[in-house]
Amino acid sequence: MVLSLSGAMNTSPQITPLSWLMIAILGLTWGGTFMVTEVALAGGMPPFWLAASRIAFAAVLMGAIWASLGFPLFSGKSTRADHANMVIIGGLSSAVPFSLLAWGQQYVTSGFAGVSMAAVALIVLPLAHFTVAGERMTPRKTIGFVVGFVGVVILIGAQAFESTGTSLETPGRIACVLAAGCYAVGSIMLRRLPSAHPIGLATVLLIIGATISIPVAFAVDGLPPLPSAQTWAVLAFLGLVPTAGANFLRVLVVRSAGPVFMSLVNYQVPVWSVVLGAIILGEALPNSLLLAMSLILVGVGLSQYGALRRLFTR
């Protein structure tokens, strides 16, 4: 059976119980990625090569699956503009934001980077209002997203806005915000592509991302170091789970439920990062956790009231 998801501009998002399950899995997956990334960085892997390696590994893996299916991509007619947009989306989905974050996080607090990623939801909302059918910016939806964002800020704490004192802190903050903008614009453009096979589309986007990120890594970090066995294992995990698998789920969610719904993942990531840090690494849970989670849940409930009502009244 060939899977195909319509991305026509006149098709309203369809949010199903499976959509909720997929964003829950994405939130958990990406929330746990920070710990694994720290292991790779501690093992001597430069940040740009870390980004390029996980994208390239994912592209090879997904490429093998795509080849076994006969290289399906667009199920109908596509134009040169669609192909050009795929190149842009491939850069905006992984290579460019990964590079911006890798550079920016050298000069900003990790809390600020976390708040920047949570801001993806707020950036997507007005963009989708003007460009995606069925994604109107209603007062309730807007209030919900703002409440959820406040919850993330409370969870991360005041350190998000503390100064690092470095001379490049302002450019570093700009880089993090630009990375958030890349994710937002990439999701909008992904939704607007014509009907396509999800594995084929996810694979092509990863191949494009690898094609961009590898030369950038060479230019910035030079020749890659020889990873240890542990680092190889970490890179394999990063390529398989939070990059290949998660990118496939991301394509499914954006193409079916829409970019605004997908942006809810960015509120989950810091929550899972804190919770997993406490469970696996024994880190102390912040006192603000319950308040923050309550605000995030209220925000999600307000912004997705219609979808939740349909979910529980089926």
Give SS3 for 196.
Answer: strand
Q: pLDDT (tens digit, 9 = 90+) per residue, 100-115? A: 988 888 888 878 888 8
pLDDT at residue 5 greater than cutoff 60: no
CA distance 129 to 137: 5
Residues 6+ away with beta carbon under 8 Å from 297: none
Residues 6+ away with beta carbon under 8 Å from 204: 73, 86, 90
pLDDT, the chain, mean: 89
Residue in the block written with tokens 């909720």: 20
CA distance 290 to 51: 33
Residue 314, pLDDT score: 58
Q: What count of other Cβ atoms lies within 10 Å of the Cβ of residue 174?
A: 15
Q: Please write down the HEC assignment for all residues of 82-146.
A: HHHHHHHHHHHHHHHHHHHHHHHCCCCCHHHHHHHHHCHHHHHHHHHHHHCCCCCCCHHHHHHHH
Going from the C-alpha of 27 to that of each of 45, 273, 286, 287, the distances in angstroms are 25, 9, 19, 21
Q: pLDDT (tens digit, 9 = 90+) per residue, 41-81? A: 878 889 899 999 999 999 999 999 999 999 999 988 889 99
| Per-domain residue ranges of the chain | 17-74+87-312
Residue 249, pLDDT score: 96
**256 with 14: CB under 8 angstroms?**
yes
